[in-house]
Amino acid sequence: MVASAQSANRNLKSIIIVAAGSSSRMGGKVRKPYLKLRGKPILTWTVSSLSKVAGLQQIIIVTRPEDRKLAAAAVKLAEGSDGILVASYET
């Protein structure tokens, strides 16, 4: 799921990518954001596409704590991935 948000600064355009699901309905051992599509994780393709959006200044990825390294590695493969924040959550 992808949701857009604006920070308190009305001129800062941000997008939040929620990559924290369990993928339980799909089954398998690899969660959907990290499945390979044409040799790259789906999250990589998502970040590459979104980094080309005109006016977008910030991309934030929210993931499970245990997937934080996977998310960071996927982001590193993306074009235009400088300055992307990968955050995890605790329940």
pLDDT tens-digit series, residues 52-88: 988 888 889 999 999 999 999 999 999 877 778 888 8
Classify residue 25 as left (phi > 0), alpha (psi -120 to 50) or beta.
alpha
Q: Per-residue pLDDT tens for 5-26?
A: 444 456 678 899 998 888 888 8
How many Å apart are CA 41 and CA 17, to the nearest integer? 14
In Å, how far are 34, 63, 82 from 6, measured between CA atoms? 27, 20, 20
How many Å apart are CA 23 and CA 29, to the nearest integer? 9
- For the chain, give percent helix, strand, coil, nearest 5: 25, 30, 45
8 Å CB contact between 6 and 13? yes
